[in-house]
Structure 1
Amino acid sequence: MLIETQNAKRLAIYFFYDRRGVVDGYVPYFLNDLKKNVSEIMIVCNGKLDIAGKEKLEQYGKVLVRENKGFDVWAYKTALETYGWDKLEEFDEVIMLNNTIMGPVYELSETFEKMDQKDLDFWGLTEYFKIKGDPFGYSPYGYLPDHIQSHWIACRRPLVSSKEFHDYWENMSMIEDYAQAVGKHESIFTKTFADMGYKWGVSVEMEDLRNYSGYPLMMCPKKLIKERRCPIFKKRSFFHMESDFLKNTTGEQTSELFDYLRYETNYDVNMIWDTLLPNYHQFDLVKNMNLVYILPTNQYNRELLEEQTKENKVALVMHLFFEDLLEESYHYVASMPQNSDIYLTTDTEKKKEAIEKVFAKLPCNKLEVRVIQNRGRDVSSLLVGVKDVIMQYDIVCFAHDKKTAQVKPGTMGASFAYKCFENTLSNKMYVANVINTFVNNPRMGILSPPEPNHGAFYPTIGFEWGPNFDITRKLARELGIRVPMNAVAPPVAPLGTMFWFRPKALKPLFDKDWDYKDFPPEPNKIDGTLLHAVERVYPFAAQQAGYYPAIGMTDKFAAIEYNNLRFYLRDFNNIVVNQGIGPYHDDMICAVNQVLVQRGSIKAALKFRMKQKLRRILPEKLYKKCAKKWKRMRGFETEE
């Protein structure tokens, strides 16, 4: 069936879900364009919807709020039943789409005009290519066939008015989970009706990518948008499982997508941040968007720095406790721009005099040394000691002198301090580039050095929370922080308590009326205290305020970090792969975990060896088992 674009009568059934019941800006933006191309829009919301959100959606059509059951499949079924077949058959086209897609990057009229010229019974925007085997266990075909992705399926009158279409929806069983949503609907809808003789297609030409990627919209979205004028992209691109990305790419796909949208299109990427930050874990966002900034230590733009520090008030807050480290501390403080303000805190008048003597020659706009109580260490220096002035500034660096005397040999602790300082206040050129990075990335709220991973600190990667998750979550709730936080996904936190930040990004922390007595008296135990909760809550405070956390490194230290991590990974691979485990990272993790859990049992060892052989024959089944467990542990939402 061909459609006459100018006179087409179209119904769009738009499925909406948000765990908070909030309608973020990307939804009205999308519906504004969609409304220009359809006759009616019906919006079906699963779960809750706040008053402001309902008012926004009602500008585009009738809004139906239903219980959060059946995923998008039963939302579509409910909408179809609400209209009734007689009414639905009056439309030339009925489009079922959902808010798992964002855009449009190009006006949707372009897509409609293109597809109206094609003699089809149903069509979509993008295609998912055939998968051997059935990872979800519901396919009547024993595999997942080529299919239109269910975020947009447009059905024309011949299909909508058919008995087959009516039967398909009337006999649709309840969808209990994401696996059923894919296995019982999305992956079989296309083949079901194609086998009956109905013609289908997609607007984005993809056939030549069949051997390039089974899921082009996820694995190479920039290619589809830039080269094939795909009008949409997946929200999931920004929080999808890293293991799946790294099976298919080197991890560039999402940051390439974001940069293209930001610099090469008119799409406002703030709409992406506005929906990601309240809803998804920061660790996934930082990994998928590669929010790690490697900055030069040997070049900067002096004129640009002067301009930026005139427009943005910059300060350093540093707590100094060890008199024997004053000269070393001066070296790092001297990296700040000359027109910045410097606040140094210490715990005695005697130390204050020593500090003023050493720092008397420091070139800066303002130098102030404050005596604070010796309770709360460096944390109270920031949250209490300078609270009266901190919100006057746009960009602030926070640091403290550091010995880490609890680990031996001393070089181990000294290297931890080196890692913190070098990636915070390495030299004037690095600091200038940090400031420039904040100016150029207005949604970045906190920039931290990478976590320690040498010597006794090696297990920090994988155990970033330590014994501090419960106390951090408790503190977050007290501060009104509601962004996602779980014990499996680590915080993107400054685990040396040195970092750069925007004071307004840490407003949830500064809004609390902190007092020295809130912190444990000295000496206190190393871990599990409020001090370590604050250290880990910093990035969540920024996320709550609408800013993202990021990692910052000097160009010199990035080389050190790369070689260290490569050494660790190479050792792991040498052992595991030589035992016949692999080749994929998640296969290795699942297999090693099985061995460790079941070790000591001959029966378990034999069972493991058999599974390793079967894995080479039936890789999807083992992958399915491990992937489902990983997703469940990570707390991913069941969203397409």
Structure 2
Amino acid sequence: MKAATGNILIYIYRGSSDKLEKHSDFFINSFSELVSDILIITDKPGLKVDVAGKFNNLKILLFPLGSNVFRTLWDVFKDNKLQLFNYDGIIISTNFCYGPVLIDWKTFFKKIESRKLDYWSFFPFNSECKDKEESREIINPVFIYFSRNVIKDESFRIFWNKFPEGPCDDDAVVFRSLIKQLRNQNHEYLFNYEDLRRRSDCYQRDYSLELIKRGCPVVLRDAFLGGYQESFKNGNGLSTFETFAYLKKNNFPVNVIEDDLLVNLPISQIKKILHLNYFLKDYCQENFDRSSISAKTALIFFVYYEDLVQVCCSYIQNMPSESKVFIVSAKEELLQRYREFLSSCTKFKVEYRLQPNRGRSEAAYFTTCADVWEKYDFLCLAHDKKTSFISPPIKGESFMAHCLKNILGSEGLVLNVQQLFRENPKLGILEPPPPVFSAWDSIATNPWGQNEKEAQKTLAFIGGQFIWDEKPIGPIGGMFWVRSKALTRLLARRLKVEDYPPEPLAHDGTFLHSLERLYPTIAQSNGFLTGWGISEEYARVYLDNMYHKLEQNGDFVSVMDIVRIKVSNGLSGYPLIHKLVKKVYSILKNKCG
């Protein structure tokens, strides 16, 4: 690096890719008016960085995976070639945060200058380190700034010349050692809010929105990547969602957060964290502009049952004008019946296609109508449905209605779906929520059914890298809206009729059953999100169905508690059997409760 001058940003990058992730790229480039040089420390050989020529100097150093930040920095400071002690200011940060939010760094630093601090950090480390196990829970430094007063101080140089040894080898211990060296320097934790710390052990995550409103320019990634369970356990699941909504409303590029989630978490987790649930009105506002959104929309509808023509046509006719409808069947005579029934419908064009009796709706979507995906931006995929292996027939009828009401329930609902895709460029799939009634009430607790092994084979067949989802949220029933770009990896496989299982088809555990659970995972691999869409009218019924299911589970768990106590008391003299009963009880309670 050239002769040191101005400020330097030392950025510690522990990423999953050999290309700088978008949130890190945005974070680094945001310092263009504040720092002259960039030093990136990473464990990724050949890391690709694009800083668009905004900085005088850029240097990338490798460090062993797993070493703590300050020990790494010790090696860096000892390298006199870097001339770190000659800078006016040193900023140390990691890729554990997003920012800056709602304020640029130049403005933020000007505000801090009035406090005349020699060094500062956003958040404090834990105050104590009792043992090595506890030390692993202490986060690395998110952001630390050292001014020229500190840099030229002899104690600061002595610290880096002799790395301290503490009772545990972690960043908090080392940082406290540095603070002891700098006793005479004026320092502060800018966002050490005791009121928030008293209310939550993880206040930087649980109160991330409150911190932003109080002026903090960064958000911890853990607020989003920490998973939904902690947010649900400690609160109502709103904290991360409200933070995201606030950032989006105030023009922070939330796509960097979405992209970060998409490469680090399974899509079912992302959907919960961002609460990607959309309640669709059955009508449009008076000023709704429909001219620009229906021209590139198509419906692919596979039909098989003669006695469902009328009910299916009632949904098909809800497609808006200027859209295109493709009706596919393995029966020529059935296609003729649809021609006759829709002959009076002139608001959109209809094309009829015949296919072999193999592959059902999936063959219609991806083989018979493979060319459609190249011509249209948004597609609605649907089919008629019966469940002949389940009685009485109303169960199958209810399932089909559940799917179709939430994707084709009215023309207004369809237009609102298209508007939703336009407003959310990362939304790849919009699907009905899973059924929680009748024969499908176990889907929430056992979403894979008998399809997990087949799904792994299917992903291998498609090819590429996917994030495996233990709790898939695919559209059960195989009906959904999709942005055509969201499934390009599947379309690139160019499925042929022979790729689908022949008839008669098993009730579960086939390529088709696994595929419908994998659509969100495939869309994720293409950089798109999946959400649930439900008509406002149907949502009233769905909420009661969900609560009724919870009540049933609660009754079952209560009964299990009584049985466990009585059985356990009777088996107290048989420890092995007693242990087995407890284990079975635990498994059942986790699945049902």
TM-score normalised over the length of structure 1: 0.79
Q: Contact conserved, 1:100 with 1:235, CA < 8 A, in 2?
A: yes
Select 1:519's aligned residue among 500, 507, 511: 500
Counterparts of 1:600 and 1:23, CA distance in 2: 61
Task: Give CA-to-partner distance per residue, 1:424-469, whole Å, 9 cap, x none.
Answer: 1112222121111111111111101111222332221132122323
Select 2:256's aligned residue among 271, 286, 294: 271
Counterparts of 1:102 and 1:574, CA distance in 2: 44
Alignment correspondent of 1:217: 204
One-letter amino acid of the structure 2 residue matched with residue 153 of structure 1: I
Task: Give CA-to-partner distance per residue, 1:139-160, whole Å, 9 cap, x none.
Answer: 59xxx9xx99611123433788
Alignment correspondent of 1:157: 151
Counterparts of 2:131 and 2:487, CA distance in 1: 43
Q: Contact conserved, 2:7 with 2:35, CA < 8 A, in 1?
A: yes
Alignment correspondent of 2:585: none
Task: Give CA-to-partner distance per residue, 1:330-353, whole Å, 9 cap, x none.
Answer: 111111112211110011211111
State the 1:72 CA deviation. 4.2
Q: Tell me which protein shows more helix as a share of its residues.
A: 1
Alignment correspondent of 2:368: 385
State the 1:130 CA deviation. 6.8
Select 1:259's aligned residue among 227, 231, 245: 245
Task: Give CA-to-partner distance per residue, 1:155-209, whole Å, 9 cap, x none.
Answer: 4337883488448845379xxxxxxxxx853554565555677354223362343
Task: Give CA-to-partner distance per residue, 1:284-336, whole Å, 9 cap, x none.
Answer: 11110001111122x313652522335x4111110000000111101111111
Counterparts of 2:430 and 2:259, CA distance in 1: 19
Change (3 A) 1:248 1:313: same
1:68 maps to 2:65:
yes
Percent identity between the two aligned chains:
26
Counterparts of 1:388 and 1:301, CA distance in 2: 34
State the 1:228 CA deviation. 1.7
User: Where does 1:85-234 land on structure 2 (aligned, <5 Å)?
Assistant: 87-91=83-87, 93-105=89-101, 106-118=103-115, 120=117, 122-127=119-124, 137-139=133-135, 150-155=141-146, 156-157=150-151, 161-162=155-156, 165-166=159-160, 169-171=163-165, 184-188=169-173, 198=183, 200-204=187-191, 206-225=193-212, 227-234=213-220
Change (3 A) 1:493 1:500: same
Which deviates the most, 161-170 or 212-221? 161-170
Q: Contact conserved, 1:88 with 1:160, CA < 8 A, in 2?
A: no
Counterparts of 1:10 and 1:321, CA distance in 2: 69
Change (3 A) 1:168 1:412: farther
State the 1:256 CA deviation. 1.6
Alignment correspondent of 2:42: 45
Which deviates the most, 95-104 or 189-198? 189-198
Q: Contact conserved, 1:31 with 1:60, CA < 8 A, in 2?
A: no
One-letter amino acid of the structure 1 residue matched with residue 409 of structure 2: S
Q: Contact conserved, 1:129 with 1:210, CA < 8 A, in 2?
A: no
State the 1:270 CA deviation. 2.4
Counterparts of 2:159 and 2:241, CA distance in 1: 40
Counterparts of 2:158 and 2:549, CA distance in 1: 57
Select 1:25's aligned residue among 11, 22, 26: 22
2:293 aligns to what SS in structure 1?
helix
Which deviates the most, 535-544 or 430-439? 535-544
Change (3 A) 1:53 1:38: closer
Q: Contact conserved, 2:37 with 2:55, CA < 8 A, in 1?
A: no
Counterparts of 2:313 and 2:348, CA distance in 1: 16
State the 1:118 CA deviation. 3.5
Change (3 A) 1:42 1:314: same
Change (3 A) 1:607 1:476: closer
* Runs of 5+ consecutive residues of structure 2 not aligned to the other structure: 583-589
State the 1:134 CA deviation. 7.1
Task: Give CA-to-partner distance per residue, 1:233-266, whole Å, 9 cap, x none.
Answer: 123333322121113331112222222222223x
Task: Give CA-to-partner distance per residue, 1:401-441, whole Å, 9 cap, x none.
Answer: 01122222333222222211111111222212111111111
Select 2:531's aligned residue among 550, 558, 563: 550
Alignment correspondent of 1:306: 290
One-letter amino acid of the structure 2 residue matched with residue 224 of structure 1: L
Task: Give CA-to-partner distance per residue, 1:462-521, whole Å, 9 cap, x none.
Answer: 3212232333233334434323114x2x22311110000111221112222211111111
One-letter amino acid of the structure 1 residue matched with residue 214 of structure 2: R
User: Where does 1:326-365 land on structure 2 (aligned, <5 Å)?
Assistant: 326-365=309-348
Counterparts of 1:135 and 1:498, CA distance in 2: 53
Change (3 A) 1:606 1:406: closer
Alignment correspondent of 2:407: 424
Alignment correspondent of 1:367: 350
User: Where does 1:487-636 land on structure 2 (aligned, <5 Å)?
Assistant: 488=470, 490-573=471-554, 602=575
State the 1:54 CA deviation. 9.8
State the 1:92 CA deviation. 5.1
Counterparts of 2:454 and 2:40, CA distance in 1: 41
Counterparts of 1:245 and 1:136, CA distance in 2: 26
Q: Contact conserved, 1:239 with 1:280, CA < 8 A, in 2?
A: yes
State the 1:572 CA deviation. 4.2
Q: Contact conserved, 2:70 with 2:174, CA < 8 A, in 1?
A: no
Select 1:79's aligned residue among 76, 100, 103: 76
Q: Contact conserved, 1:103 with 1:233, CA < 8 A, in 2?
A: yes
Q: Contact conserved, 1:493 with 1:538, CA < 8 A, in 2?
A: yes
What count of residue pairs does the alignment treat as equivalent? 569
Q: Contact conserved, 1:20 with 1:49, CA < 8 A, in 2?
A: no
* Runs of 5+ consecutive residues of structure 1 not aligned to the other structure: 1-6, 174-182, 582-590, 610-629, 631-640
Alignment correspondent of 2:465: 482
Change (3 A) 1:526 1:61: same
Counterparts of 1:564 and 1:273, CA distance in 2: 31
TM-score normalised over the length of structure 2: 0.85
One-letter amino acid of the structure 2 residue matched with residue 114 of structure 1: K
Change (3 A) 1:169 1:119: farther
Change (3 A) 1:160 1:248: farther
1:246 maps to 2:240:
no
Counterparts of 2:424 and 2:301, CA distance in 1: 24
Select 2:33's aligned residue among 33, 36, 39: 36
Counterparts of 2:325 and 2:56, CA distance in 1: 51
One-letter amino acid of the structure 2 residue matched with residue 472 of structure 1: A
User: Aligned-pair RMSD on alpha carbons?
Assistant: 3.7
Q: Contact conserved, 1:115 with 1:203, CA < 8 A, in 2?
A: no
